[in-house]
Structure formats: structure tokens, C-alpha cells
Chains A and B, each alone.
Chain A
Amino acid sequence: MGRMTLHGVTKNFGETEVIRPLDLEIEDGEFVVFVGPSGCGKSTLLRLIAGLEDVTDGRIEIDGRDATGVPPARRGLAMVFQSYALYPHMTVRRNIAFPMRMAGLDKAEQNRRIEAAAAALNLTDYLDRRPGQLSGGQRQRVAIGRAIVREPAAFLFDEPLSNLDAALRVGMRREISELHTRLKTTMVYVTHDQVEAMTMADKIVVLQHGVIEQVGSPLDLYRAPRNLFVAGFIGSPKMNLMTGAEAERRGAATMGIRPEHIAASPTQGAWQGTVGVAEHLGSDTFFHVHLDGRAEPVTVRAGGEVSLHHGDTIHLTPDESRIHRFDAQGLRIA
């Protein structure tokens, strides 16, 4: 079981308010991702749940029990750190065994779990090596192995993939998702990468300046961002945000339209402009278009076959049903 509830959780470092009073429900078995720009308080929030930081105010419940003052060792949670945080003086086997040794598990059971974890994570051949002799991806798998064998109530991941190269990151992302499907244990995952958040999460918590901006499924956040910050943060490339006459005509202070919801044509459309940068990815092409009379370029996603280049005239037509409208306070207009 790994149900967690945060009631009015606050964290101050000296005079600085890092987490404003915050409420959050994490259901058992859920994959929750905390996402936000650096300094938004997402790692601090995870560390508060872990017990590595003390809350300034508020209450944290794990499985219905008040865990606010409980030391990290007794919260029944396992954590995977960004720097892997393996014990450099121990072999992989002893690294993975460490939490079980601390829990006083008997040797036979320890070995059974080590073998199972090593097999699942492709570490069997490396059990007698030290962390210094492993690659980044292998180290991260050892860190995950060390977390699995505890059979925790929930896993906490603190930007676990940010030290890996791009190719490895995609592979590990899938492995962690598969792990979640297999174990069905609650996972709380911190990242600044919205692609990771979108691809892995059951529920995304978007944070900014220690405040939850929105909580919802990836598609909820994509389809109905609650405010301008979430609109700009979720989705890649970013949503185009426009103010001025176009927005006012639609009864909003700011209007937003995603690059994939604008049709591009060389001959006709609602808006006319010139192609600034054209990024040809093969499957898609991203055009950064300078519209007549607008300073900010508009990003458009077109098919891979569209052959327009820098300086060409382009016509754009937004899908009116996919336009997001925001008021002067930056909140979504339903």
C-alpha cells in the first residue's frame, strides 16, 4: 500500500518560502510526476515526503498514518537519487543488500531478492563489481535494484535520468514505466522534463514557486491547461501565446494555440507570414513563422513532406475548436 496525503504542507528555508501551504492526494499504485522549472520546489516536496527535510508546517500521511515526524528510515519508502548515491566501497551485491541488511532480513531471503532484482535489471553479471566500474545506466539500475528489494510502500525518484545521455534516457524511461506496470507500487517522480512527465505519469503535478499550478492526467493538462504557466510548460514545442487584436476578437486577454493545431499552406490561410527557421525532422517539420505585424514568431508543426524554406511566404489557419483562451489574470476561460 502506498497512499499518501499532504495537508497544508509548508517549507521555509530561513525567510524563504520554498513550499507554500499545499494539499495533495496520491492514490495507491499511482505514478505521479512532479514537474516544473528548476527552483520550483519539486525536489524539496519529494524530500519532505521522504523525510529528508522536516516540514515547517502541515501534515504528511502515508497509508492513513501521520508520518510527519517519522524518520526517513521508518517511512517504508525507497528513493532513487539523481546522483545514484551508491555506496562506492561496496560491490553491487552489497549495495543492493544494504537495505535488507538494515531491516535484518535473513541471508537466504536477501540472496533470493538480490538474484531476482539483478535478473530483472540485467545486473547478474555485475554483482561483484563496484559502482566505479559501471556505466551511468548500470549505476542507475543498481540504484533502482536497491530500491526494489526493500519492497517499499512507494518509490521516490529525484530526477533519476538527468545524468544519462539522451539514448539511455529513453531506454531507462521505458524500464521505469515497465517496472511500475509490473510492481503496481506507488511511484512519485520528480523531473524538469515535461516529455518524461507526459510519457510516464498517471497524474502530473505542475509546480511553480512552491505552488501547485495544476494537477491532472497528462491529457487533461494538454487539453485544458488551467493557466498560462501550465499552457506554456506542457507540450513540446511550446503553445503559441498571442495577445492583442486576435485574442480580443475571441474574447480573451491571451489566446493560445498549439503548433500541431495550426494548418500550414503555401497558398491560402487566415494569417500570412514568412518562414524564419524551418526544422526538418523527417517525420515532422517545425516552422518558426514571422506573422505580418507581430514581433513574436509562431511555431507551426507540419508534415515531414511540406517543403517550405527560410524566407518563403506561408499561410496559417488555426483550428478554432482547439484555441485556448485566458483572461487578464492568466486563468483559463471555460
Chain B
Amino acid sequence: MARAIDPRRKALNTAIAWTIGIMIFFPILWTFLTSFKTEAQAIADPPVFFLFDWTTENYRAVQERSDYFRHFWNSVVISVGSTLIGLAIAIPAAWSMAFVPGRHTKNILMWMLSTKMLPPVGVLVPIYLIFRDLSLLDTQVGLIIVLTLINLPIIVWMLYTYFREIPAEILEAARMDGASLRSEVLYILLPMAVPGIASTMLLNIILAWNEAFWTLNLTAARAAPLTAFIASYSSPEGLFYAKLSAASTMAIAPILIMGWFSQKQLVRGLTFGAVK
């Protein structure tokens, strides 16, 4: 029997949920509002909410001062590129770990995950020096390589989890039906794992898009993505909150829109296998 719902309790729960939701969303909303204020209104005390003179001046200023589209394009190339290369490496890796596990598969998986526990700054100097010697500093290729490597453990883990949900008998049936390893992966495994692969891809594009430590440290101008674009509006030149907010809004808008449209896919992928 379904539990009876007390209307007062339901109203209270709804109010709490909305409050928490708004609290989480508030910084983004505030950034968005500030981007339409003048610099004076942005630092006004008490702060102004909606009742200010809305202006798009900041957006014009930001675009004039720095080339948004170049940064945007760098972000696209770096995040999509690193995700696709990551997938190309991770799909065979996850396949072998899920379907032909060896004695050390579990250890390898844990070891891969453990690399994510290392503070990135710990390897900044060696990587910086390697990049310098290989002329990879401030290049898209360099960033694609480093972001592929840092996100690879997550991609492998996610795909491994999805692949484990696919019954091995189906792949064996394909083998009995005369499929080569390539056909087995291409025609059977990948189509069945599409929800998992899609959500892995989306999540990693988002992670790579938002990655700031390596993108800020390994780029200067040419390959700088949107994270560097935002950072260029922070402190050294004084307080330009309104312009910083405009830059931030422009930087997060594409990924926010993508996330919004793919949220169903993301949720489905992230809960894949939770309920049979």
C-alpha cells in the first residue's frame, strides 16, 4: 500500500527542496545578473537584484578586449578532442577488463583511480618541463594530451561499469555467429553500450571544458581556452566584477546549454545498471 502523504509535510518538503535548489543555483544566477550591471552597480552595497539599469555594455567590452570565439574554439577542440581520444583508448581497455579480466584487473583499476587522488600540482613541474622541451606549451595538442591522460581513469571506470552490465553470453553468441573481435565490438558491444558511452562522453566534455589547473598553467595565448579567458578578468587589473561576470556567463553558457539538452541522457547513463 502506498504511504499516505500529509499535504502540510509535502508543502514543507517542497519548500526545502526549492530553497536548496536556489541556493545551489544562486551563484550562477548572481553571475548572470551581475553581467548586465555597470561596474558600480556590481559592487553596490547593499547589492541590487533586478532593479538596476540592464546593460549589455560588459559583453561588448569583453568581446572587444579579448577574442571570445578563439577561446571558445580552443575549448571545443580541447574538450571534444581529449574526450574522443580518451574514448578510443578506453573502449578497448574497458572491454578487456570487463570481459577477459585477468588476475590483476582489479588492481589495475584501483591503480588508475589512485592517480586521481594525487594533487595535480605535484606533477606540474615535471610536466611543464617535458612540455617545454617538446614544444607543447600553449598548443592545443599539448592540452589534448594532458586532459586525455587526466580524464582517462574516469572514462575507463565508467565504461568498465557499463560494459559489466552487458551479458557476456551475448558477446559469445556473436563470436559463435562468426564475428571477429572488431565486428563483435563494433556491431554488438558499442550499440548496446550507447547510453553509457554517450553519458561518459558528455561528462568528460564537461570535465574537460571546466578544467582550469592545467589549462591555465600550460597555455598563454594561442591555445588558451575559456577558463583562461575568465581568469584574465580577475584581480591583476583591478576589480571588474561586471566584466568578469560577463566573461564567466559567456564561458559557461555553451556547456550549460549542452548539459540542459542532454540531461536525460546524462541521468540515464549515470544510473545505468542501478535498476534492472
Please list the residues of chain A having a beta carbon within 8 angstroms of any beta carbon in chain B.
Answer: 50, 52, 71-74, 77-79, 81-83, 85-89, 98-99, 102-103, 146, 150, 156
The residue in chain A whose Cβ has the minimal distance to the Cβ of B176 is A79
Given contacts A50-B176, A72-B175, A99-B177, whether A85 and B183 have CB atoms under 8 Å apart is no
Q: Which residues of B contact A99 (CB under 8 A)?
A: 177-178
Asked if residues B176 and A78 are in contact (CB atoms below 8 Å), the reply is yes
The residue in chain A whose Cβ has the minimal distance to the Cβ of B188 is A87
25 CB contacts below 8 A, A to B, read A50-B176, A52-B176, A72-B172, A72-B176, A73-B175, A73-B176, A73-B177, A73-B180, A74-B178, A77-B176, A78-B176, A79-B173, A81-B169, A82-B169, A83-B167, A85-B170, A85-B173, A86-B170, A88-B192, A99-B178, A102-B183, A103-B178, A150-B177, A150-B178, A156-B176
Q: How large is the interface on B (under 10, 10 to 19, 20 to 34, 35 or more residues)?
A: 10 to 19
The complex places the Cα of A99 from the Cα of B170 at a distance, in Å, of 13
Asked if residues A85 and B180 are in contact (CB atoms below 8 Å), the reply is no
Asked if residues B173 and A73 are in contact (CB atoms below 8 Å), the reply is no
Q: Mark B176-190, 1 if CB is under 8 A from A, else 0.
A: 111110010001100
Query: Contacting B191 at CB < 8 Å: which of A71, A72, A89, A102?
Result: A89
Given contacts A81-B172, A83-B169, A85-B169, whether A146 and B192 have CB atoms under 8 Å apart is no
CB of A98, distance to nearest CB on chain B (Å): 5
Q: Which residues of B contact A146 (CB under 8 A)?
A: 173, 177
B127 within 8 A of A: no
The complex places the Cα of A87 from the Cα of B191 at a distance, in Å, of 10
The complex places the Cα of A82 from the Cα of B169 at a distance, in Å, of 9
Beta-carbon contacts under 8 Å, B89-110 to A: none
CB of B22, distance to nearest CB on chain A (Å): 41
Given contacts A87-B188, A98-B174, whether A73 and B169 have CB atoms under 8 Å apart is no
CB of A96, distance to nearest CB on chain B (Å): 10
Q: Which residues of A contact B180 (CB under 8 A)?
A: 73, 102
Count chain B CB atoms within 10 A of each CB in A71, A82, A88, A102 and give the residue with the most: A102
Query: Contacting A85 at CB < 8 Å: which of B172, B187, B191?
Result: B172
Query: Contacting B175 at CB < 8 Å: which of A52, A83, A86?
Result: A52
Extra 13 A-B pairs, beta carbons < 8 Å, given A73-B175, A79-B172, A98-B187: A50-B176, A52-B172, A72-B176, A73-B179, A77-B176, A78-B176, A82-B169, A83-B169, A85-B173, A86-B170, A87-B192, A88-B170, A102-B178
Count chain A CB atoms within 10 A of each CB in B174, B177, B180, B191 and give the residue with the most: B177
4 smallest CB-CB distances across A and B, nearest first, come from: A85-B173, A99-B177, A102-B178, A85-B169
Q: Which residues of A contact B183 (CB under 8 A)?
A: 102
Beta-carbon contacts under 8 Å, B76-124 to A: none
Q: Which residues of A contact B172 (CB under 8 A)?
A: 52, 72, 79, 81, 85
Beta-carbon contacts under 8 Å, B136-179 to A: 167, 169-170, 172-179
The residue in chain B whose Cβ has the minimal distance to the Cβ of A90 is B191
CB of A257, distance to nearest CB on chain B (Å): 42
CB of A269, distance to nearest CB on chain B (Å): 53
Asked if residues A98 and B175 are in contact (CB atoms below 8 Å), the reply is no
